Amino acid sequence: MPELPEVEVSRLGISPFLQNQTITNIIVRERRMRWPIPETIADVIGHSISAIKRRAKYLLIETSVGTVILHLGMSGKLRVIDAATPPVKHDHVDIVLASGQCLRFNDPRRFGAVLFQPPGEALSLLAHLGPEPLTDDFDDQRLFQLSRGKKSPVKTFIMDNAVVVGVGNIYANEALFLAGIRPTRQAGNISLARYQVLTATIKQVLAKAIEQGGTTLKDFAQADGNPGYFAQHLNVYGRKGEPCEVCGNAIQSKVIGQRNTFFCTQCQR
C-alpha cells in the first residue's frame, strides 16, 4: 500500500503537468471504487487547476469550483500521459487537460477513491486527522501528552491518524528501530525524553524516503513507468530472521494491530 512518502512523491511528480492547466474533460470508465465516484466531479470541467496539495494520503486537486480528491488505496497509480493513449485494463479515470495530456488513474483492486468536495464544504474523511508529521505542529510534547494513560502498543499509537497522519506500517517499524523503542511497549509508559527521540526519527525516515523517491519523478510522464514505489534501505521491515545490521541478532516479527511488526530485541527496549 502506498504510504505518505509515496503519495507525496506522486504529488511532486504530477504537479508540473497539472498546475494552471484547464480541465477539458473527466472520463470515468468505472465508478465502483471504494466509494462510488460522484457525478458532481464533472463540475470541474472547463476550470483551471490552481493547486495540487496533499493531506495525509489524500491528493487534493483544487479548482475555483471545488476539489477533486484522490486516494491511491492499496494498488492505485497515477500517470501523466497523452490523452489519446488507449486505456488498458483498470484505467478507471482520466482527468483530461488542455495541454493534450491527461492524469490517468489505474487501480486494479479498486480500493482507491476519486471524490469531489464543493467549495466551503468540509470532507468528513479529512475532518479528524492529526497534524502532518513533517510540520512544526507535530512535536514530542504532542506525542507525550496524548500518550498518557494509553495502554496500547506504541506502534499502534503512532499509526493512529488522529495522533499524526501518514506514519504507516513500514515507517513506524523503521522509526521505532532508529529510536531504540520496542514496538510492543505501552505508549503511556514511554518517557518524554524517548518521545523526543521518536519524533525526530519519524521526521527523519519520512523525509529520507521522500528524498529517495525523487529519483522516480520522471516516471510520471511515461506510460510504461511504475511510479508510487521506490527502492530504499530498510533496517527491520520485512527482514524477519535476518541479522540486525547493528548488533547481529535475528530480526523478530510479531503481529500488532493486525499488521506485521519487525524489531530487534537487543537494540529496542
Q: Known binding site: residues?
A: 90, 109, 150
Torsion sign over Cα 158, 163, 167, 168: positive
What lies within 8 Å, CB to CB, of 264 at 6+ separation is 177, 236, 244, 246, 247, 249, 251, 252
Torsion sign over Cα 17, 22, 25, 30: positive
Tell me, rounded to whole angstroms, the distance of Cα 228 from its chain centroid.
10
What lies within 8 Å, CB to CB, of 3 at 6+ separation is 57, 166, 168, 169, 170, 171, 209
Tell me, rounded to whole angstroms, the distance of Cα 10 from its chain centroid.
9
Of 57, 77, 104, 194, which residue is the catalytic one? Answer: 57
Host H or E run for residue 67: strand 66-71
Does 259 participate in catalysis according to the annotation?
A: yes
Of 2, 133, 183, 227, which residue is the catalytic one? Answer: 2
Of 34, 185, 203, 259, which residue is the catalytic one? Answer: 259
Does 30 participate in catalysis according to the annotation?
A: no
Q: Which residues are annotated as a binding site for DNA?
A: 90, 109, 150
What lies within 8 Å, CB to CB, of 44 at 6+ separation is 23, 26, 61, 63, 65, 66, 68, 116
Of 3, 8, 62, 174, which residue is the catalytic one? Answer: 3
Active-site residues: which are they? 2-3, 57, 259
